[in-house]
A and B are shown apart, each in its own frame.
Chain A
Amino acid sequence: QLQLQESGPGLVKPSETLSLTCTVSGGSISSSTYYWGWIRQPPGKGLEWIGSIYYSGSTYYNPSLKSRVTISVDPSKNQFSLQLISVTAADTAVYFCARLYGGNSVDYWGQGTLVTVSS
């Protein structure tokens, strides 16, 4: 059974960089069928797609976050990562990592991790 697990700091200071890693187990991140993505959900609000990556390194970003986001992949570790720079309180959210079939639809989600931006 495929599992995705987010890891990283739960508290980040304003203006600093948010960094999270997603470890994939039970399947290969190098599968040609799937993309890997990050989705976030501010407290009490809806889902927002941040971006996706293919195992080859091709990336796709939400235009509203593109200037601050970098998603990378490490097939040797079966991991992919998120970096979000210059964070503010508005970036406080539960961050989910996910597998996307064909890059189009999410079929597996991580459990999510709450990241709070506060001094």
Chain B
Amino acid sequence: NFMLTQPHSVSESPGKTETISCTRSSGSIASNYVQWYQQRPGSAPTTVIYEDNQRPSGVPDRFSGSIDSSSNSASLTISGLKTEDEADYYCQSYDSSLKVVFGGGTKLTVL
């Protein structure tokens, strides 16, 4: 099975743009959709991006997702950072046998 690797932590200032990467260890990143979840302390995760680049209703368009086959990675970009964006972010994908894989998570600090 493959792994998804994320940076442990990132930090940026309010109003700036931050990008979190998610690299797939084997197999093509483009072969299965990637999702991104936001988790605030003490709460269940919520979806911010599904199917690589789709935003659920209610998620601001400051959140965007993309994949890059050359680096075999997915990215979550958050523009116009707000203090409320401070949270843990997890990427997630799956294989052809419906085995679900999560990345290790990235702690985003907005300061």
Contact = CB atoms under 8 A, between A and B. Distances in A.
A60 B97 contact: yes
A25 interface: no
Interface string B35-78: 10101000011110011000010000000000000000000000
Interface of B: 1, 32-33, 35, 37, 39, 44-47, 50-51, 56, 90, 92, 94, 97-105
Interface stretch (A10-18, A77-85, A99-107): A99-107
Given A47-B105, A105-B33, A105-B51, A37 B44 contact: no
A35 interface: yes
Interface residues of A, number: 23
B45 A52 contact: no
Contacts of B101: 49
Contacts of B39: 47
B102 A105 contact: no
Given A47-B105, A48-B102, A63-B1, A103 B94 contact: yes
Given A37-B100, A105-B51, A106-B35, A96 B44 contact: yes
